[in-house]
Structure 1
Amino acid sequence: MTGPATAYAGYLDRLEEADEYGAVDVALGLLDAGVPAERILLDLVAPAQAEVGERWARNEWSVAQEHAATHISERVVAAVAAHTNPRPNRGRIVVACMDGEWHALPPRLVAEVLRLRGWQVTFLGASVPAAHLVSYLHRHDAHAVALACALPMRLPHAHRMIEACRRSDVPVVVGGRGFGVDGRWARRLGVLWAPDAPTAADLVADERALRRTSPARLSHLADDEYASLVKRRGELIDSALTDLGERTPSIRDYTPAQLDSTVGDLGHLVDFLAAALYVDDPSLFVEFVEWLVAILVSRGVPAVTVATTLEHLGRVLHDFPRAARYLEAARASRGLLAAPSHR
C-alpha cells in the first residue's frame, strides 16, 4: 500500500541528493495515489525535515546540505499546496514566526494544514517584528494568530509578542519546541500551546478555548536578575571569551570563522541563561547546555570548554542567586560531569 511511510526512505534520499524534482515527484505521486495532502505534510515532509536537523546535529551533514534540504522541503510544501488549493470558508488565521526566529518550515506546515481545513491563512514567514505584526492585525481582521518559536532563548520576545496581539484583542495559539516539548513554558506565559498542526487547528476552531486565557506567572522577575543579565550581555560574552583564551591558548590560532562561531556559542549561553531566568526554570538552560555539548563534541571540540565557561560565568554572576544555581545545575549535567574543573 502506497503511503508516506513507504515513501519516506526514497524521499529522504532525494533530500540527501538535493534532487528537488524527485522530491516533488514523490509527494505528488502520493497525492495522485489518493493520500490526503495533510498526511503527506505531517507524515512525510515533517519527519524528514526533523531527520535533516538531526543529521546536521550529528555533524553528518553540513550547513549547506541542511539548507538545501530545507529549501527542497519548502518547494514540496508549495507543490502540494498548489495541487490542492482549497477555497476558504472560515475566518482569517495569521501565522508567523517570532521576531528573531528563522525556522519557518514548521509554521508553514501548520499554515497549510489550517488552509486545508478551510481557514483563510496569511503566512507572514520568519522573524516578524512585533510592531509589524500588530500593524497588520489592525489592518486585517483576524480570528486568531498562531505564533511559532523553535528556540527557548526567544521566550522573552515571544511573551512581548503574545501580549501585543492580546492588546489588539486577537487570540493567540503558540507552538514549537521553544515553548518546551510539553508546552510548559507556554503555560508559564499563560498562552495556549499546540504540540502539532492538528491540535492547533482544533484549538483555533474552538471559540471557547481560544478566548480562555490565564495570567502569566512571572512574579519572580521582581528580583531583577533577568533585566540585569540582559544589560550585561556584551560584558559577559567579552569576559568569557577572554577567560577561555587564557585557559585554552589554541583559541589564538582560530580562523575568523572559528572565532565567530565561538563568540556565537558564548552569546547563546548567555541568552539561554537569560531565558531560563525569565521563566524561572533551570531545565531550560541545562537542556541547552547538554545539546550544545553534544554538538561541539561531534565537531571535535572538548566538553571542557563549556565546563570552564560555565565556571567562569558562575564566578562573575556570584551575586545572581538564581543564575548561579542554574549554572551549577548545568555543570552537574550529563556530558559535563567528566569534564575537569580548571581553577
Structure 2
Amino acid sequence: MSTSTPPRPYRPEHAEQAAELLWNAVSTADEYAATELVLRLLDEGTAPESVLLDVIAVVQGRVGEEWAANRISVAQEHAATAINDRAVAAVSVHPSARTTATRGRITVACVDGEWHGLPARLLAETLKLRGWRVDYLGAQVPTPHLIAHLHSTRADAVALSSSIATRLPTAHAAITACQAIGVPVLVGGAAFGPAGRYATLLGADAWAPDARTAADHLAERALPRPQPGHQQFDDLPHLADQEYTMVARNSASLVRSVFTALEDAFPAMRSYSDLQRERTGEDLAHIVEFLATALYLGDEELFARFITWTAQILVARGVPAHSLPPALDLLARELKDFPRAVRILQAATNTLTTAPFTAAGYNA
C-alpha cells in the first residue's frame, strides 16, 4: 500500500454506523454523499477491504431486502445498486487500495444471463487487495468468450458468480468448459444454494459463501488444475428422462396455456388491470423457469423455496398468496405425463398450503 498510515482495526460497531450512513445516502439517491463517505472512511484509516465488505456489501444486502419487502421500487433498487457500484469504484482508486500483485492471476465473472454484477466486483476488488492480478469481466459473460479469455491469459483460476438459481444450467456448462481446458473454478452467490449444495452437484472445485471467505480460501491453498475428463454432464443421470429439456423448450407455450386457464381457476384475475395481467404473465414465466431448474438439478426443495419466496413477495405487494396454488395445479395438469415435474409442483403446493401466510388467507 502507498499510504504510511496503517489500516484501522476492524470494529463491528464502527462498520455498523458507517453502513447506516451509507444506507441513508443510497436510499435517497445521493451519489455524492455516498462517495464522500467511503473516501472519508479510507482517509481516516479504515481498511479498504472493510469498507468494501463490512459497509458497501452490507448496504447492498439491505437494498435487496427493502425491495423484497416492497419498501423501495425497482427503479430505486437499481439506483441504489448503481451508487454502491460507484462507491466500490471510489475505493478501488484510493491510495490505500493500491497494491502490487504478488500472487497469481484470477478471472472473475458472472455466468451468462446473470446481471447482478456487484457481488463479483466486490470479490474482484478484494482479491486485488490481497495481491492477486485480477481480470474482472463483469456481468453476463457468455461461456465461449470466457473460455477465449482464459486461453489468452493462462489464469490460475476462475471465480464465477451467480445470484439467480435459474442460471445454474448455464453455470454448469461454464464450469465444465473451464475445467476442460485445465482451469479450476471457484463459485459463489445465492444461486448455488444453502451451504453451496449445487456447487458440489455441478462439480465446481470450490465454493465460498462470500468474498472474504473466497479470498481466504484462495490464499490458504491453490486450486488444483483439473485433469482432462474431470467433469462430464452424465454426472446428472436424472436428465436422461428429458423432462428438463421438454419443459425448457416449451416454456412459452406452458405459460400461455396456464395464463389462459387461470381466469377460470382464479376468478379475481378477471378484474386485473393490463399491468397486473402483464405481471401475472411474468410471474408464470419465472415459475416455469424455476421448475425447469429444479428438474435440471433433481431438487424439489429449490422450487419449494422459490415458491415460498414468491408468495412472500406477492403478499408484500398486496397480492394474495392463495393465487399461486391454482397456477401450480394448472401447470401440473399441463405436465401430467412428466412425473418428476408433477411431484415438484405438488410438493410446492403442499408447502404453500401449510405455511402461515395469514395475510394471504391461510390459517385464518
Q: TM-score, normalised by structure 2?
A: 0.88
Q: Which residue matches 1:304?
A: 322
Count of residue correspondences: 341
Aligned-residue offset at 1:334? 4.1
Q: Which residue matches 1:266?
A: 284
Whole-Å separation in 1 of the counterparts to 2:353 and 2:178: 40
Whole-Å separation in 2 of the counterparts to 1:7 and 1:311: 48
Flag the 1:316–1:336 CA change in 2: closer, same or farther, 3 A: farther
Match for residue 13 of structure 1 among 24, 29, 41 = 24
Whole-Å separation in 2 of the counterparts to 1:125 and 1:253: 42
Whole-Å separation in 1 of the counterparts to 2:350 and 2:146: 41
Q: Which residue matches 1:198?
A: 212
Aligned-residue offset at 1:67? 0.8
Whole-Å separation in 2 of the counterparts to 1:335 and 1:50: 29
1:52 maps to a residue whose letter is V
Match for residue 202 of structure 2 among 178, 183, 189 = 189
- Deviation per CA, 1:14-45: give whole Å up to 9, x if none: 11111111111221221122111101111111
Q: Which residue matches 2:85?
A: 74
> Where in structure 2 are the equivalents of 1:20-35 lying within 5 Å?
20-35=31-46
Aligned-residue offset at 1:210? 3.9
- Deviation per CA, 1:48-95: give whole Å up to 9, x if none: 111111111000001111111101100110001110232222222111
Q: TM-score, normalised by structure 1?
A: 0.93
- Is residue 144 of structure 1 aligned with residue 185 of structure 2? no
Q: Which residue matches 2:47?
A: 36
Preserved contact between residue 318 and residue 324 of structure 1 (Cα < 8 Å): yes
Match for residue 129 of structure 2 among 111, 116, 138 = 116
1:92 maps to a residue whose letter is R
* SS at structure 1 position matched to 2:137: strand
Whole-Å separation in 2 of the counterparts to 1:226 and 1:61: 35
Q: Which residue matches 1:241?
A: 259
Whole-Å separation in 2 of the counterparts to 1:170 and 1:189: 15
Unaligned 5+ segments in structure 2 are 1-10
Preserved contact between residue 290 and residue 335 of structure 1 (Cα < 8 Å): no
Whole-Å separation in 2 of the counterparts to 1:96 and 1:261: 30
Whole-Å separation in 1 of the counterparts to 2:218 and 2:297: 25
The alignment's C-alpha RMSD in Å is 2.1
- Is residue 279 of structure 1 aligned with residue 297 of structure 2? yes
Flag the 1:185–1:274 CA change in 2: closer, same or farther, 3 A: same
* SS at structure 2 position matched to 1:3: helix
Aligned-residue offset at 1:335? 6.1
2:307 maps to a residue whose letter is V
Whole-Å separation in 2 of the counterparts to 1:212 and 1:170: 6
Aligned-residue offset at 1:12? 0.9
Flag the 1:210–1:35 CA change in 2: closer, same or farther, 3 A: farther
Q: Which residue matches 2:6?
A: none
Whole-Å separation in 2 of the counterparts to 1:161 and 1:257: 36
Match for residue 51 of structure 1 among 52, 57, 62 = 62
Whole-Å separation in 2 of the counterparts to 1:161 and 1:86: 30
Identity of aligned residues (%): 48
